[in-house]
Structure 1
């Protein structure tokens, strides 16, 4: 059974995630099997070379991960993550889709794929969540 009764309830809860939401990241869809989060590419996400900062990409993936695992069991925190940066984004929007791989008694395993709005693969994230 989902922790949040609605997408609006989840969005309200995650307003407390000030770094992600302050960067413009939003939860677009949420179930117990997946979550989708996105952010518009703006200068606020830029690195010194004019591209999207790796930390911004990581944060979007982590935000999608957090939305999903906390909809399964709240609170759940990241215990371990692995990230592969695949390509520099070329589009105007980034989309992170988190998919549940395993929901265990004390932990969850989630795969997150980040793409841009052109369909370009940008980042691959695998996270293990620890249920508190």
Structure 2
């Protein structure tokens, strides 16, 4: 899945770890990601969290897509900050899953909390 994820790679994200129901992805805030307030645009923070969510919910070899997601921004991230999104599965039942993602900076400060709901679709990721 990572090999075909042009969006995450295009934003400079790095897949650090993936396991059953979990994923960790990191990204450095670049100059082009800073908004008019001089802080990281929320859309880029959301994209990072969403990518971690995507890899966590697809980690069971069942294709999944996002059904719903929300984010709460708790602290600003600045240009040059290295953000890390850690996703963890909270529940998975039938075709639905629930995942929480915490985004932190290089000092461990919580930047945002994200919650995503997944929906499984047809297909497996490891199909030949």
* TM-score, with structure 1 as normaliser: 0.84
Q: Which residue of 1 aligns with 2:16?
A: 28
Determine which of 47, 63, 74 is the counterpart of 2:51: 63
Q: Which residue of 2 aligns with 1:120?
A: 109
How many corresponding residue pairs? 120
Q: After superposition, what is the alpha-carbon deviation per residue over 1:2-53, rounded to whole angstroms, capped at 9, x for unaligned?
A: xxxxxxxxxxx22322222101011100000311100012213211222111
RMSD: 1.4
Q: After superposition, what is the alpha-carbon deviation per residue over 1:89-131, rounded to whole angstroms, capped at 9, x for unaligned?
A: 2562000000110121111100000010111111111110000
Please, which runs of 5 or more residues in structure 2 have no aligned partner?
Answer: 122-128
Structure 2: how far apart are the matches of 1:46 and 1:17? 23
Runs of 4+ in 1 over 6 A off after TM superposition: none
Please, which runs of 5 or more residues in structure 1 have no aligned partner?
Answer: 1-12
SS at 1:117 equivalent: coil
* TM-score, with structure 2 as normaliser: 0.87
